[in-house]
Chain A
Amino acid sequence: MSLHEVNPSIKAFAVVISILILSLFFDPITPLLTIIWAVSITFIFGRISFKKWILLFAPFLFIAIIYVWSTMLFPRLHAGDSVIWKWGFLTLTAEGFQRGVSLGLRVLSFATLSIMFTLTTKPTDFLLSLMQQCKLPPKLAYGIMAGYRFLPLIKEEFQTLQNAHRVRGVARARTIPEKVKQIKRYVIPLLAGAIRKAERTALAMESKGFTGDKNRIFYREITVSRIDWLFFTLMIGAVLLSTFISWKLGYLQFYNGEL
């Protein structure tokens, strides 16, 4: 079994429900266990290269560390909090520490689940599945697909534009009015180019008989099997089990708007 073969819509559904459950609680153990679970299945059943994964994970790790740092060092002090360490105006309390870690792990648990989905799902498969299982209108789905193809083209165009302006001898913008002017200079040709490309693609799609008709026969059928639902159950089960263990250990509490 491979994560790549799981029905994309069900996979997405499982991730969304897991995140919703996780967001109900606020403690370090539940997200920690979920992270371990999500990371292990990503590598065992997804066969994802570590390099790819860490590239996506790193920014979240950074955010999480900042979270932990700031909540630990600048806690809201409550009476009765046990102080671990004090230096000048900095006070580290046990409660503050736990809050910080919980917040950080929460961010990371959302991240690991989402990364698992992104790295094991082809965008085309996801859109096909959304059309076939979730009745997403083809007009919208194929529009998104065409747009997705455009992204690298637009980036390329932007670089060309920058070069073309350099050759014309436009000095690098330094002051704010200059920057505004520069943006204006870029936006018009970029938009003109993008609109023209989009028009051409739309025309090409229409010329192949695309009308947005919802009764399509798909060349690639994305199916739903028992394995998909098994995956769904396992995912939700794992998150619930994490909460259960956390409750047994006495850490579990409902989320109460802590930041």
Chain B
Amino acid sequence: MLPFEQISAERLEFSYEDRKIFTDLTFSIGKNQSVLLLGPSGSGKSTLAFCLNRLYPEAVDGVLKGSISYEGQSLEAFKAGELNQKIGIVFQDPESQFCMLTVEEEVAFGLENFHIPREQMELKIDRALELVGLQNDKKTTIHTLSGGQKQKLALACVLALEPEVIILDEPTANLDPVSSSELVETIALIKNERPFTLIVIEHKLDDWVELIDTCLVLDSNGSLLFEGTPAQCFGEFASFLKKEGIWLPKVVEAALTAKIAGMYRGERLPLLKSELLAGLDYSFDFSKKISKTLAIKEPILEVKGIHARGHLKNINLTIHKGEQVALVGSNGAGKTTLSKCLAGLIPVTQGEIQFLGVPLSKWKEKDLFQKLGYVFQNPEHQFITDSVFEEIAFGLEHRASALSILEKIGLEKHANAHPFALSQGQKRRLSVATMLVHEQELLILDEPTFGQDANTAHEIMEILEEKSGAVMMITHDMELVDQYADTVHVLDAGELIFSGTPESLWENEEIVNRARLKLPFRKQLQDEFVRREIHVAT
């Protein structure tokens, strides 16, 4: 039994357009607990969060059955807006959660809604901004802030209202590795200073594990799979969670792999790096799986000293036939701009790009995009027909071959569906597949695994690995870089500050810090292991 039940839900069921999002959820959350809400994409985590805040069902035409109570009182008994002061929420998308132009106005907006006397507002705004470290940006216009700063502002808006519960709906999804960790640290610090109940929905779990005391797991049908401590959740059910497509903390993931290979001795899967190291066999090999070596180094794309619209400065790089390239860097470093320049979508102001030996400007657009593909961040942007089959068949000479491609990406059953009607993961797979039909020599992808659950991300990477041509992808995920890339390019403030193998990047501490990157988990573990060895030896 919990010390004090703050939120309790009984037999919750939410349906939207005759589709059940989740069913029969019964759980309770105690005061000042830190809860991690897990589930594969489409399992209704966000919907559940919005129901707890009573934003749903009013905001959509959904039907909510069962009951939720807050401190013993049914949610329906609260006046409009009253509950929002007690339960604050930070959303995933840093762009669309603001309605004012400047930082202070945005924080004030919430205070105004709750009739806080004007004399107190200033103080509350200052305090909230100070908590998240934005005190010097009070008068800044919101759209000039970086993604990380925007998420901190969203948090400040919630903190200013001094809520008892804070819900975070994938708050780090759009952030670079260092900004993500900073946000988690900020939250941990504030929680120490002023306790509140925390409910987090998140894919990237590593930073959160130490803060969390309870896990709630939903399965793909939206039923409650598990409720308990993280140690239990990941220690005993890891392989099950993995099957459901739920992301695991990297420590757990590594231990699971090691255990299957018979190299982990621990009873239970660990949560902390130190526990993992203690349980690992000494025979465990930390080095990277050897990637396919490039036999012939034939360049297909050569970039010579390009500049673009004040964003990029003197970029030189070469992509070779069949090479897997990663482009990394902090939020706003110019990754997307560079990738668009390489595809000829943004003109360069200086310098030259040669693709297959011909300057990009000399290519006819139609011919160019038969040889060079680009997958945008939002798959919906690339759909141009009314059915999934037509999407693939578009521009194909042998339309019949579209079916075999659909089979390959597992969408043959949806051939006649409208592309917009697919699930997030299916849309992503389709958008990648549309770029594979011409056997392009080079495929550029802007964050291909963004917002996907573990299974979909894995499938996409498999499709890309099988592909014959070169691949260049923008990503914040250092694990992907470590596992898949032959070469990695690092951008910082529009300048290319590093080109080389991932292994040599991890060795270069200065570059890693400057570009706000993090070492991949394998490397972190290896470093720690070496440190211990030295410690034991001395």
- By a beta-carbon cutoff of 8 Å, the part of chain A in contact with chain B is 123-124, 142, 145-146, 149, 152-153, 157, 160-161, 163-171, 185, 188-189, 192-193, 197, 199-211, 213, 215-221
Q: Which of B61-69, B222-230, B370-378 contacts A (4 or more CB under 8 A)?
A: B370-378
A-B CB contacts (within 8 Å), total count: 142
The 7 tightest CB contacts between A and B, nearest first, are: A219-B108, A204-B97, A209-B113, A209-B84, A208-B110, A164-B381, A200-B96
B161 interfacial contact with A, CB 8 Å: yes
A51 to B509, CA, bound (A): 48
Given contacts A209-B85, A220-B108, 5 further A-B contacts (CB under 8 A): A149-B143, A160-B378, A167-B343, A206-B59, A213-B81
Contact yes or no, B369 A166, CB < 8 A: yes
With an 8 Å Cβ cutoff, the count of chain B residues facing the other chain is 60
A170 to B391, CA, bound (A): 12
One digit per residue, 1 when the CB lies within 8 angstroms of any chain A CB and 0 when it does not, for chain B 369-404 equals 110011010101111100000000011000000000
Provide the main secondary structure of the chain A interface. helix
From 61 to 115 in chain B, residues with beta carbon under 8 angstroms from any chain A beta carbon are 80-81, 84-85, 88-89, 91, 93, 95-102, 104-105, 108-115
From 109 to 135 in chain B, residues with beta carbon under 8 angstroms from any chain A beta carbon are 109-118, 121, 125
Would A167 and B96 be within 8 Å (CB), given that A193-B380, A206-B55 are in contact?
A: no
A218 to B104, CA, bound (A): 12
Q: How far is the CB of A85 from the nearest CB of chain B, in Å?
A: 50
- By a beta-carbon cutoff of 8 Å, the part of chain B in contact with chain A is 50, 53, 55, 59, 80-81, 84-85, 88-89, 91, 93, 95-102, 104-105, 108-118, 121, 125, 143, 157-158, 161, 340, 343, 345, 365-366, 369-370, 373-374, 376, 378, 380-384, 394-395, 420, 434-435
Q: Pick the contact of B109 from A200, A203, A210, A221 — CB < 8 Å?
A: A210
Contact yes or no, A167 B373, CB < 8 A: yes
A-chain residues with CB within 8 Å of residue B53 when the two chains form the complex: 207
B-chain residues with CB within 8 Å of residue A123 when the two chains form the complex: 101
Would A171 and B366 be within 8 Å (CB), given that A124-B100, A124-B105, A200-B91 are in contact?
A: yes
Q: How far is the CB of A18 from the nearest CB of chain B, in Å?
A: 28
- Which residue of chain A is the closest to B114 with respect to CB atoms? A209
B-chain residues with CB within 8 Å of residue A221 when the two chains form the complex: 118
Contact yes or no, A166 B55, CB < 8 A: no
A69 to B291, CA, bound (A): 74
A-chain residues with CB within 8 Å of residue B376 when the two chains form the complex: 160, 163-164, 167
Q: How far is the CB of B218 from the nearest CB of chain A, in Å?
A: 20
Contact yes or no, B99 A205, CB < 8 A: yes
Contact yes or no, A200 B380, CB < 8 A: no
Contact yes or no, A203 B380, CB < 8 A: no
- Which residue of chain A is the closest to B382 with respect to CB atoms? A164
Q: How far is the CB of B61 from the nearest CB of chain A, in Å?
A: 12
Residue among A152, A160, A204, A213 with max Cβ neighbours from chain B (10 Å)? A204
Q: Pick the contact of A163 from B55, B80, B96, B340 — CB < 8 Å?
A: B340
A142 to B106, CA, bound (A): 12
- Which residue of chain A is the closest to B343 with respect to CB atoms? A167
Would A210 and B105 be within 8 Å (CB), given that A152-B143, A189-B383, A219-B121 are in contact?
A: no
